[in-house]
Chain A
Amino acid sequence: MELLARFAAGDLEAFETLFRQHQCDVFRWIMRIVRNAATAEDLTVEAFWRLYRAHARFDPVAGNFSAWLRRIATNVAIDHLRRSRIEVPLPDDLPALASLHPGEQMEMRGQILRALGKLSPGLRSVVLLALVEEEPYAEIAQSLGISENAVRVRVFRGVRILRKELSRMGAHP
């Protein structure tokens, strides 16, 4: 019996095989949205938990397993952003902002992160994936279950809000 068919039938060994095949990809994808390794690990387990609970709904013949898993992972990450305080941690190895003193760099980064925090979780995830991670719009669209045009609109709206917030803070992009 094929692996996906066994998974759809509720076989735990098939699930383990799929888990081991896909855990790194799911972790990396969630990491791009939540930007914290420990949280991304927990959410990876949560995504696979939701996947396992829904195994009977998966069609092993017509279904696209990777796309389905990616969509669950995206939903888990966005749910987390909704629940948690708006916070985007600063990594340690940031590139230096050209022509700015260290104090000004920190202030500028703080302003950018605060502006990012003003976006709704749905918009923030699209902006991060499209502009920071440079994921193709088609891939973002598939992961959210929306059209590429809808992704373009969300990026546009996100950029508008970010510009407005940064202008309000006195930082002009």
Chain B
Amino acid sequence: MNERENADVKKLLKDALNPARDAELRRDLWPAMLQRLDERPIPVPWWDWALLACAIALFCIFPGTIPALLYHL
């Protein structure tokens, strides 16, 4: 590696961007974490699962439909 090349670009970057190593966290994030933990995932309706099962069954019985489907997608 060309160290001089590296040093030139490093200097330019440091001139344009201050290091963020001294950034301080302004608040306790635990309440936000608790809120995130309480969020429930959106449930998938049963008919979506039924539709998926039908599609898989169709592809297993008629594999020729797979390229036809891919063509139309």
Q: Does A associate with B in a complex?
A: yes
How many residue pairs at the A-B interface have CB separations less than 8 Å?
110
Q: Is the interface of B mostly helix, strand, loop or mixed?
A: helix
Q: How many interface residues does B have (CB within 8 Å)?
A: 29
Taking each of A133, A155, A173, which has the highest tally of chain B beta carbons within 10 Å of its own beta carbon? A173
Of the 9-residue stretches A65-73, A79-87, A91-99, which lies at the interface with chain B? A91-99
Of the 9-residue stretches A1-9, A23-31, A56-64, A140-148, which lies at the interface with chain B? A23-31
Contact A28 B13 (CB under 8 A): no
* Contact A35-B9, Cβ < 8 Å, known A24-B25, A41-B29, A45-B36: no
Contact B20 A45 (CB under 8 A): no
B33 → chain A closest CB, angstroms? 5
* Contact A131-B14, Cβ < 8 Å, known A45-B32, A52-B37: yes
Q: Which of A44, A113, A173 contacts B8 (CB 8 A)?
A: A173
Q: Which of A20, A27, A52, A159 contacts B30 (CB 8 A)?
A: A20
20 sampled A-B residue pairs with Cβ under 8 A: A12-B37, A20-B28, A28-B23, A37-B23, A40-B23, A41-B27, A44-B29, A45-B29, A90-B16, A91-B17, A108-B15, A112-B16, A112-B17, A113-B16, A131-B6, A132-B19, A133-B20, A159-B6, A159-B9, A163-B9
Q: 18 other contacts beyond A41-B26, A155-B6, A173-B12, with CB at 8 A cut-off?
A: A16-B30, A20-B30, A23-B28, A27-B29, A32-B21, A41-B27, A45-B32, A90-B16, A91-B17, A94-B15, A95-B15, A95-B18, A131-B14, A156-B6, A159-B5, A159-B6, A159-B9, A173-B11
Instruction: List residues of A whose CB falls within 8 A of some B CB.
Output: 12, 16, 19-20, 23-24, 27-28, 31-32, 35, 37, 40-41, 44-46, 48-49, 52, 88, 90-91, 93-95, 97, 108-109, 112-113, 116, 127-128, 131-134, 152, 155-156, 159, 162-163, 166, 173
Instruction: List residues of B whose CB falls within 8 A of some A CB.
Output: 1, 5-6, 8-21, 23-30, 32-33, 36-37
